[in-house]
Amino acid sequence: MSATPEITRLEVASHETVLRVHDGALGLTGFIALHSTHRGPAAGGLRMRAYASEDAALTDALRLSEGMTYKNAAAGLPLGGGKAVIMGDPATKTPDQLRAFARAIDTLGGRYWTAEDMGMSPADMAVMAGETRFVAGLPDGKFASGDPSPITARGIFNAIRITARHRLGSDDLTGRRVAVQGLGHVGAHLCDLLNRAGTRLIVADIDAARVAETQARYGAETATADGILAVEADILAPCAIGAILNADTIPTLRVAAVAGGANNQLATPEDGARLHDRGILYAPDFVANGGGIINVATEILAIEDRAGFVDEKLAALEVTMDRILTRAAQTNRSPDAVATAIVDEMPQARAA
Ligand code: NAD
């Protein structure tokens, strides 16, 4: 067994605690960023990516951990915001690297809980659980929460209904055209819920097999991966990658509203204003996709009645989304700006 890696504390004014984790012999470099523990232990996944530089990796950890503070607060969870990143191609990851990184997480004594994010799997979390108990998203165990995407999709479906009520005058989705970009874990479950609600689906993915399967299953129309952003529909539901709402794409949108599950859909905060100026109602992603962390929270918080907890928190998330869209209409501001302000008003939501 290798030793605990070299841990260096970095001073970052916006964040409570930031650690650089390094083990030269293992080829391991990563960061653990705790934005805020005011609501409870910081929670957010571990991402592994081939970052171009240490600066790029640190910036990602800082940005994502701050985002988790907002997501967890909006979901009404007693959790703060944190995130961790490991530099490197996930295909090169070794169990020793995971174990060493887990020992670094353990030194925080429960102020940070990790789970899988891009480049990590439940099996990786199981390896890490041998070194620290502050890991969720395990494949099995009494409180193991499993794949979060069905719960994420339920939350997005609710967000679509509320957005339809505000923008189209009714939350009855029968006959509404909904364009879904991305047919992975979240997109597939969302299409199922939308189909049951009588929606007319238009779908796109870079994976042609997923498009063909969805077309066959639901009689969905199809579009190209980029073309989906310009199809005429009532609602666009981005469920693939981030930054797809930007200065180039927003002028081409032909929808009344955007409500989907992808993280960081707005390329910049100004893009929230751009959508608002075009009269396109945007359901803030960190509220719409909170179902995933609600599901993971059942594991972190060791919730006995998991279904009851999920139902209660998803219902509360609907109320929060409704408040955001109501206040946005009343104050003529973008829902994204309003959502951030609402979380900032919550007790103990932010870092010091
Ligand atoms: P996934 O990897 O299972 O699916 C993503 C899908 O998007 C894949 O089918 C992929 O082929 C497709 N895709 C990738 N690039 C594309 C492009 N340019 N155009 C069209 N399709 C493209 O991921 P997922 O778990 O379904 O997550 C989807 C999004 O939702 C991500 O942004 C993720 O961060 C976010 N999210 C997921 C969860 C969850 O519970 N899984 C929770 C919160 C947020």
Q: Report how far ligand 1's centroid is from the alpha carbon of 262 (Å).
A: 6
Phi, psi of 126 (to 5 degrees): -65, -40
Output the pLDDT for position 146.
Answer: 86
Q: Report how far ligand 1's centroid is from the alpha carbon of 182 (Å).
A: 6
Chain centre to alpha carbon of residue 258: 16
- Among protein residues, the one with the nearest Cα to ligand 1's atom 41 is 149
DSSP 270: H
Q: Region of 348 please: left (phi>0), alpha (psi -120 to 50) or beta.
A: left
Distance CA 62, CA 83 (A): 8
Q: Is 279 annotated as a binding residue?
A: no
What are residue 43's DSSP bridge partners?
81, 113
Inter-axis angle of helices 54-74 and 335-345, to 10 degrees?
80
Q: What is the pTM of this model?
A: 0.95
- The answer to whether 313 is a known catalytic residue is no
Neighbours of 226 (CB within 10 A): 13
Chain centre to alpha carbon of residue 132: 24
CATH 3.40.50.720 in the chain is located at 149-290+317-345
pLDDT 10s digits, 50-86:
999 999 999 999 999 999 999 999 999 999 999 999 9
Band (pLDDT 50/70/90 cuts) for residue 3 is confident
Q: Is 135 annotated as a binding residue?
A: no
pLDDT 10s digits, 222-270:
999 989 999 999 999 999 998 999 999 999 999 999 999 999 999 999 9
Of 71, 83, 93, 313, which residue is the catalytic one? 83
Q: Is 24 annotated as a binding residue?
A: no
Fold of 149-290+317-345: Rossmann fold (3.40.50)
Q: Is the dihedral of CA 254, 264, 344, 75 positive or negative?
A: positive
**Would the pLDDT of 348 be above 90?**
no
With beta carbons less than 8 A apart as the criterion, state whether 200 and 219 touch.
Answer: no
With beta carbons less than 8 A apart as the criterion, state whether 226 and 252 touch.
Answer: no
Q: Report how far ligand 1's centroid is from the alpha carbon of 279 (Å).
A: 26
- Among protein residues, the one with the nearest Cα to ligand 1's atom 30 is 262
Output the pLDDT for position 1.
Answer: 54
pLDDT 10s digits, 262-314:
999 999 999 999 999 999 999 999 999 999 999 999 999 999 999 999 999 99
Nearest to 107 by CA among 85, 87, 131: 131
CATH 3.40.50.10860 in the chain is located at 6-71+78-128
Distance CA 229, CA 5 (A): 45
Query: Please, what is the average pLDDT of the chain?
Result: 96
Band (pLDDT 50/70/90 cuts) for residue 2 is low
Cβ within 8 Å of residue 238, ≥6 positions away: 181, 182, 244, 245, 258, 260, 261, 262, 265, 285
Residues with CB under 6 A from ligand 1: 148-149, 152, 181-187, 204-207, 210, 225, 239-241, 261-263, 289, 292
pLDDT 10s digits, 86-110:
999 999 999 999 999 999 999 999 9
Average pLDDT, integer, range 168-193: 97
Nearest to 352 by CA among 9, 66, 32, 15: 15
Question: In terms of CATH, what superfamily is 6-71+78-128?
Answer: Leucine Dehydrogenase, chain A, domain 1 (3.40.50.10860)
Output the pLDDT for position 352.
Answer: 39
SS3 state at 255 = coil
